[in-house]
Amino acid sequence: MTSEGFTVDLHVKVLDEQVVERAKARGLDAMVYAPHFTRLPDVRARARRFSDEDLAIYPGRELFTGTWQRRRHVLAVGLDEQVPDFLTLDGTMAELRRQEAAVLVPHPGFLSVSLGLEELRTYRETVDAVEVYNPKYLPHHTRRARRLAGTTGLPTFASSYAHLPGTIGEAWVTFEESVADEAALTTALRSGAPRRVEHRDGPLHTLRRGLEFAHLGYENSWEKFDRVMLQGTAPTHPDHVAYGGEFDDVKVY
């Protein structure tokens, strides 16, 4: 990665020594770690464990809103308090506004798991950026995402959306100004700070894209949801004791 500026992979699902080594080799300055079904304190603790002076790792939450069959994903950066999965979309957005988090839309219009044009228009004043590229995208996904961003006038971003370690650093955002900490990244995203959306290309990138796309099958299966969320009270289920019933009025399960 030869671009000047501050480079951030804004959405990764995996984090260990191998991931950190690869991120540094790819020239990243920072990553946002946002695993599924993991409460914010645990995300924050793991991010802190693997951060150092060469690579900052910031906690994020990819929130699943609505029911599993009609879920919409929203990526939040800069949360101060916990937010569970499977609230109504309106309830989730209201909580993110209250916390003044950066609100990103991953993979817009992708399959049945993200926001489309109607939702982007409805929450135009809450959403801070739309993802226009990640390695799971096929060409028509990229075109549609760019069209949605252009229609709404929202800033854009890219990420590796890495569920596999080898995908780390395949796509990133380069901010013109350095980002000192989580608060500064949140501010940069919320303010629409100048940035470049970039990604790798070539045969190896194509291979990694294929591997990530193949990984979608299990990620989006009812079997996974039933195992993780419904067979007991999962860590990010609204009924978990950690939330103290705070979100009962906007939960969908």
Mean pLDDT of 202-216: 88
How crowded is residue 94: how many other Cβ atoms within 10 Å of its Cβ?
A: 14
Task: Please report the pLDDT score of residue 218 as a whole number.
Answer: 58
Among 77-91, 135-149, 203-217, which stretch is predicted with the lowest mean pLDDT? 203-217
Most confident of 9-13, 203-207, 212-216: 9-13
d(CA 15, CA 251): 29
The terminus-to-terminus CA distance of the chain in angstroms comes to 44
Mean pLDDT of 229-242: 79
**% of the chain residues with pLDDT over 70:** 91
Q: Which two tokens stand for residue 209?
A: 């894209």
190 or 219, higher pLDDT: 190
Whether 222 shows a pLDDT value over 60: the answer reads no
DSSP per-residue codes, 44-98: HHHHHHH-BTTBEEEEEEEEEES-STT-EEEEEES-SS---SSB-HHHHHHHHHH
229 or 72, higher pLDDT: 72
Whether 100 shows a pLDDT value over 90: the answer reads yes
To which H or E segment does residue 175 belong?
strand 171-175
Contact 195, 175 (CB under 8 A): yes
Task: Please report the pLDDT score of residue 71 as a whole number.
Answer: 87
Among 78-92, 103-117, 212-226, which stretch is predicted with the lowest mean pLDDT? 212-226
Mean pLDDT of 68-89: 94
Whether 130 shows a pLDDT value over 90: the answer reads yes
Q: How confident is the model at residue 234 (pLDDT cuts 50, 70, 90)?
A: confident
Whether 22 shows a pLDDT value over 90: the answer reads yes
Q: Which two tokens stand for residue 222?
A: 């009812």
Whether 232 shows a pLDDT value over 80: the answer reads no
Task: Please report the pLDDT score of residue 1 as a whole number.
Answer: 56
Q: What is the CA radius of gyration of the chain?
A: 17
Q: Where are the domains of the chain?
A: 6-250
Whether 207 shows a pLDDT value over 60: the answer reads yes
CATH superfamily of 6-250: Metal-dependent hydrolases (3.20.20.140)
The pTM (predicted TM-score) of the whole model is 0.93
